[in-house]
Structure 1
Amino acid sequence: MAKATALLLCWAAAVQNAGAVSFAVPAQAKTGGLSYAPLDPAPVGVSLEFFTMPSYLTNVTATLQCLDNWRALTGVWPPVRIGGTTQDRAQYDPSTSAYVVYSVARAADAPMTLTFGPKFMSLAATYPGSVVLGLNRAKNNIQNTIAAAKVAVAEMKNLLAIELGNEPEYWVKDKQPIASGSWNNVIDRASQNDWNIRVGSAIGRTNIIQAGNWNDSPPQWGAAGLIATENATVRQYVRHYAHHNYPGGSIQKLMTHSTTSQNVRGFNADVASALAIGKEYVLGETNSVSGGGAAGVSPTFGAALWTMDYILRATYSNISRIYFHQGTVGNCQYCAWGRYSMGSPYYGQYIATAFMAGAKHITALDAGTTNYAAYATFDASGAPLRVLLYNSDYHTGGTRSSQPFTLTGLTSSTVRAKRLTASSATARADQGGDISFGGQTFTDVTCKIAGTETYETSTVSGGQVTFTVKATEALLVYLQ
């Protein structure tokens, strides 16, 4: 009976994958009845936990190389955000000569209190790309925050925005001083508006605040509600709005394309509210599972594929930048890199960056309702540049199913492609897993690219071509 059941399941899988899914590639951006979104020059960024920033920039060799790998693709250094839970435990100390001062019982712990000095901002200023700097609102010491903000503005020519407070919906639980009386989303909106005006005016800068920064789902904690309370005075100081997001779940749930699409749709109303007043919307801190990640989920190849799909669905939904969080060095399951080893998520971030590099627009060719995804990017002239195909069927062992993808509307005679693959969804780069993109890998410690770059060439016939993408795989197709 068990053997018969197994045969039936194999037959069902074969039937499901028997027919090709077909996608027409528009000949020009903004045609074909599809929705299109403009692309930031560097949509994929990194969020560094506040107290770890000096270590990532001075003690972790991989950091600048990993970011430079993306710069080599886009021509632009990726954006960085410095913040997180420890930003609201940090007080500015103008007298300290250290980057940060704190003590912990174990190296893997995050400090409950810390101070930072002017050198913290001077170090952040050395990064070649843009930086969002998170400062403390929870301690309710606005003069201390203004003092730090003044140094940031003076020192950091790369300062994109200042974030005032991290995830304020949790401040009652954290027993933060600003929430010692009544505290809810309505009071937080009033507090944000007040602080945005006072900090912005004190440092003499408009268009400087990253507002929002909640983690709980909209609409209770969300940009639409905040924007509705803002007057013109407040809005002049806001550069853009941000939300945090950690979808969580099993590997299979996380990497399933329809689930990712549904998760991202939860931000549509907030994105629309920001765009309606001419402001950007970003995911200011995000990753797979909150609290540094889950050991059985976050370091896997399945999580890398989720990372890729999530980035593309978010940018397609008019989310300008996505900042993936890097937590405590040496205690971070979802980190894309560490001091000694690479993380699987880096591969997802890299292929997404390669797909969007130099492109001006992105669209989704699929409806986001199945396991099979197709995205297209377009160059400055509006011509199709690349297509990315994703088969989110879950594979961990045994016979591996595959799905044919047919692209139509192509004008060239041949196309090239690079494959993102591994033996299973549970493969881990930090445990020697066989993850590769176009035959190449990223070296532990240094993050340098290793191996020979491998392209697959396919013939286009009658304007169409069919690719086979295995379960738990993605394929980047180059149209130019």
Structure 2
Amino acid sequence: MSRGKFLALASSCILFVRSAIGVTVYGQGPLGATRTIQPDASWTGLPAYDPTTLTPPVVSPLPTPYFLQLTSDVNAVGGVSIPIKGSFYGFSIEVSVVDQILGKNSSFIQVPFLNLMATLASRGGEVHIRVGGNTQDYTTLVDHLDKGNIIQKQSQNTSNPTDTPALLFTRDLLYMMNNISNFVPVKWYLGIPLNDTTNLRLQIVTEGERILGNNIIGFQVGNEPDLYVRHQHRPTGYGPQDYFNEFQMVVNALAAINSVTDKNNLIGPSMASADWQPSDVWNTGFQTAFGQHLKILSVERYPNDNCAAIYPALGPAKDPQTEFPNYLNHGNIQSLTSQYTASTLLAQSVGKPFHMFETNTASCGGFKGISNSFGAALWATDYGFQMAHSNFSEALLHVGGQHVYYNPFISPPTTQTGYHQWTVGAVFYASLILAEAFGKSGTSRIIDLAANNGNVYTPAYAIWQNGVLSKLALFNYVSDPSDAAVNNVTFAIGGGQTGQPAGTPTTVKVKYLLSQNTASRNITWANQTFGQLFESDGRLMNNLHIDTVTCNNDNTCIVRVPAPGFALVFITDDPTNLGGGDPIQTYTTTAYPKIFNTATVDPSQLATSNGHSGKDRVNLGSTSYGSRSGAIGLRDGMREVLSVIISCAVGWFVIRGV
């Protein structure tokens, strides 16, 4: 065999081992360093670390510069939102992956998670987290699990076509959550199981209230009930009135439990807006009948789905490259949120906040190359601002585990925790930006400025804090390396024809969210980053850089918005967030989990939300010890890896003529 053929064989062996183990394919380098990740259609590793990179969509014609006339007094502006808190973007964590995200137990809390939450809380005041999802309807509290586990898959047929696992959990899960709240200001949502209304399991309420106390915000009653029939959780014909009746059962059951002190912190209807519309539930009188007991009105909604990639019966799978432009278009976000205008108005009329209780880039795990791209960071930032403008009070970005593309953050596979750190996803930057933009006062109000004659590639928002214009949020969705699409935005406060005194400051501060193009993974916020794959301990890296723009003498100011990019313009000094938040307590650790997973939940069951799992997703390994999915499982896969290594070694000796 020629030397060239041998090198090709050796290269193939190395690449196979790297891909199968999923350890070194990404390379190593300085934290936060720029690295190019090329498309890899043959990727068979975990989706959370898929290196596929798409081609940035082309925009034509390019947007032109534009002018914004603003007023400092919020009372002179029509159409502004209700007051919004800095905790607007929280997180929804699937129950089945809590031991990957929060910690192994109440004594072993994930330090990167604490650091990430502290980073947000220093800017927005606190963080709200839901532990729930598909798996919450089939959870059962038990006194003890083997090996000190806090969760464990139950061998029960849930009649779920997506095989969402039924789960056992212990009180130690709740103690772990409370311990987290003792470190950082995190408050929690929990879900009441609703799979068996003849035998309601309300221990999650009694024990949750007892252990978490004031750290509990509320309890969700059922998850996506409009999908119950589709998932064979209810008989055909189950509808909004049936959910109304079941909600009443929960209310009645809680009323009979003397140990429950707060019986009025329930959340619903949490529909996916798939088989029912919100109005279908409101027409039952739900919001008025349960007004005393309802704390929050909620929905769940993803803008898209990638379900056909898992379930071929649904039709041809969607092409991520074709879907990519849909995430770089402000009009699509406006269209999505406008579907809830009547619902947010209704919520205000009955004095209830309206929450997006679960969302992300796409259900069924998101899209490779989209959900973890800079484009997703821009999209999630715009989507959050638009929901706030549309009078949502809060939205929760879903965390689904190792088998999804859209995670805001994720720990490394358990077998790699000794040498890999966490991966912070693109959409987490959106939560960071919104926390800074809205701040801790709880008085921020926002409006979509319909900028640039409504150009869908250059949206802009204005934010008032304590009644005074505080910030501008300026987007540019266009990728253009020639700088021809850089957008110069001119604004003026007062003066001109406004009848108000000129109020443009002499200088403004600007923080930029930047990357090379919308498909890139290299993301920085004011020059700081959480790094790329396996690089984060939950703390921002690199020096903070804030631009100072000197305004003109004619009451105007010009801010440059790169292509692509986002600019948060500080009209007034915000000592809390301009410098990146108050000094935060961060944490370090020298403790690592054992090499084998201590939980027994199969991550292949946990891939998605909105009633879908990853059971049928092909070529996916499992991080559960002893389990195996459609791809090479970590334990059995090592046998194949060793087999390949041996084969390569044999090939070497054959080549050498030994």
Could you tell me the TM-score, scaled by structure 2's length? Answer: 0.64
CA distance in 2, matches of 1:32, 1:162: 36
Matched, 1:35 2:80: yes
Distance 1:396 1:291 in 2: 31
CA separation in 1, counterparts of 2:367 and 2:355? 24
Contact 1:50–1:134 (Cα < 8 Å) also in 2: no
Per-residue deviation, 1:357: 1.2
Partners of 1:287 and 1:451 in 2: how far apart?
28
CA shift for structure 1 position 423: 0.6
Deviation at 1:221, TM superposition (A): 3.2
In structure 1, the residue matched to 2:128 is 79
Q: Which moved more, 1:226-235 or 1:119-128?
A: 226-235
**Would you say 1:57 and 2:102 are equivalent positions?**
yes
Q: State yes or no: 1:91 paired with 2:140.
A: yes
- Residue equivalent to 2:620: none
Cα 1:227–1:206, aligned 2, differ >3 Å: closer, same or farther? farther
Deviation at 1:186, TM superposition (A): 2.8
SS of 1:126's partner is: helix
With over 3 angstroms needed to count, the CA separation of the structure-2 counterparts of 1:400 and 1:187, relative to structure 1, is farther
Does 2:327 match 1:254? yes
The separation in 2 between residues aligned to 1:244 and 1:118, in whole angstroms, is 27
Whichever structure has more strand as a proportion of its residues is 1
The one-letter code of the counterpart of 2:180 is Y
User: Which amino acid counterpart does residue 365 of structure 2 have in structure 1?
Assistant: G
CA distance in 2, matches of 1:290, 1:171: 16
Please tell me the residue identity of whatever aligns with 2:178: A
| Equivalent residues of 2:344, 2:354 under 8 A apart | yes
Q: Is the CA contact (8 Å cut-off) linking 1:189 and 1:226 kept in structure 2?
A: no
Secondary structure at the counterpart of residue 125 of structure 1: helix
Indicate the residue corresponding to 1:311 in structure 2: 384
Normalising by structure 1, we get a TM-score of: 0.87
List aligned pairs for 1:78-227, cutoff 5 A. Answer: 78-96=127-145, 98-102=149-153, 112-128=165-181, 129-144=186-201, 146-157=202-213, 158-176=215-233, 179-180=234-235, 182-199=237-254, 202=257, 203-217=260-274, 220-222=276-278, 225-226=281-282
Instruction: Please list the CA deviations of residues 223-281 of structure 1 after superposition, one character each: whole Å capped at 9, or x if unmatched.
Output: 67337423866221110111111102722212311211111111111111111110110
Structure 1 residue 181, shift from structure 2 partner: 5.9
8 A contact 1:377–1:386 mirrored in 2: yes
| CA distance in 2 between partners of 1:454 and 1:160 (Å) | 36
Return closer, same or farther for 1:440/1:235 CA change in 2, 3 Å cut-off: same
C-alpha distance in structure 2 between counterparts of 1:282 and 1:46, whole Å: 12
Change (3 A) 1:191 1:221: farther
Unmatched segments (≥5 aa) in structure 1: 1-9, 429-433
CA distance in 2, matches of 1:132, 1:223: 24
Equivalent-residue separation in structure 1 for 2:112 and 2:380 (angstroms): 19
2:373–2:520 Cα contact (<8 Å) kept? yes
Distance 1:12 1:297 in 2: 21
Alpha-carbon distance in 2 for matches of 1:231, 1:263: 22
Contact 1:223 1:241 survives alignment (8 Å): no
Pick the aligned partner of 1:407 from 477, 491, 516. 491
Q: 1:127 to 1:141 in 2, by over 3 A?
A: farther
Larger radius of gyration: 2
2:86–2:434 Cα contact (<8 Å) kept: no
Q: Percent identity?
A: 18
Contact conserved, 1:138 with 1:168, CA < 8 A, in 2? no
Separation in 2, partners of 1:50, 1:292 = 16
Task: Tell me how far 1:285 sits from its aligned partner.
Answer: 0.7
Give CA deviations for 1:385-416 in whole Å, capped at 9, x if unaligned.
Answer: 111111223x2767652222111114311111
Q: Partners of 1:63 and 1:451 in 2: how far apart?
A: 19
Aligned-partner SS, 2:270: strand
Name the SS of the counterpart of 1:445 in structure 2: coil
Shift of 1:445: 3.1
Q: 1:245 to 1:22 in 2, by over 3 A?
A: same
* Residue 63 (structure 1) shift: 1.6
Q: Is the 8 A contact 1:224 1:270 kept in 2?
A: no
> Which of residues 297, 313, 325 in structure 2 aligns to 1:241?
297
* One-letter code aligned to 2:63: N
Q: CA RMSD of the aligned region, Å?
A: 2.5
Match among 430, 437, 448 for residue 355 of structure 1: 437
Distance in 2 (CA, whole Å) between partners of 1:316 and 1:206 is 31
Greater mean alpha carbon deviation, residues 32-41 or residues 221-230: 221-230
Q: Matches of 1:265 and 1:205 in 2, distance apart? A: 34
Partner of 1:465: 557
Measure the CA separation in 2 of the matches of 1:115 and 1:398. 56
Report the alpha carbon displacement of residue 201 of structure 1 after superposing the two structures with TM. Answer: 5.0
Residue 37 of structure 1 aligns with an amino acid whose one-letter code is I
Contact 1:439-1:452 at 8 Å conserved across structures? yes
Alignment partners' CA distance in 1, 2:255 and 2:217 = 13
Q: 2:550 corresponds to which letter in structure 1? A: T
Conservation of the 8 A alpha-carbon contact between 2:137 and 2:194 = yes
CA contact (8 A) 1:61 1:446 kept: yes
After TM superposition, which residue ranges in structure 1, 4 or more long, deviate above 4 angstroms? 396-400
Superposed CA deviations along residues 297-335 of structure 1, whole A, max 9, x for unmatched, are: 11111011111001111111111111100012x222111
Structure 1 residue 365 displacement after superposition? 4.4
Provide the rounded CA distance (Å) in 2 between the counterparts of 1:82 and 1:424: 34
Provide the C-alpha distance between the structure 2 equivalents of 1:476 and 1:148, rounded to a whole number of angstroms: 41
Q: Structure 1: which amino acid aligns with 2:359?
A: T
Q: Deviations over 1:3-60 (max 9, x none)?
A: xxxxxxx9963xx434x22222221123233423211241110111012123311154
Q: Which residue of structure 2 aligns with residue 17 of structure 1? A: 63
Q: 1:334 aligns with which of 406, 420, 432?
A: 406
The alpha-carbon deviation at position 436 of structure 1 amounts to 0.7
Picking from 105, 116, 132, the partner of 1:66 is 116
Q: What does residue range 290-301 of structure 1 map to in structure 2 within 5 Å?
A: 290-301=363-374
Q: Distance in 2 between matches of 1:110 and 1:333?
A: 20
Contact 1:300 1:425 in 2 (8 A): yes
How many angstroms does 1:141 deviate by? Answer: 4.8
CA contact (8 A) 2:514 2:523 kept: yes
Post-superposition Cα deviations, 1:190-241, rounded to whole Å, max 9, x if no partner, equal: 32233234335533423210111111259x3326733742386622111011
Question: Structure 2 vs 1, CA of residues 172 and 22 (structure 1 numbering), >3 Å: closer, same or farther?
Answer: same
Moved more, 452-461 or 209-218: 209-218
Unpaired segments ≥5 residues, structure 2 = 1-57, 105-109, 156-161, 306-322, 412-421, 494-502, 573-658
Shift, 1:139, TM fit = 3.1
User: C-alpha separation between the residues in 1 aligned to 2:470 and 2:539?
Assistant: 26
How far did residue 466 of structure 1 move? 1.4
- Whether the 8 Å CA contact 2:86–2:123 is kept in 1: the answer is no
The Cα of 1:354 is off from its aligned counterpart by: 1.3
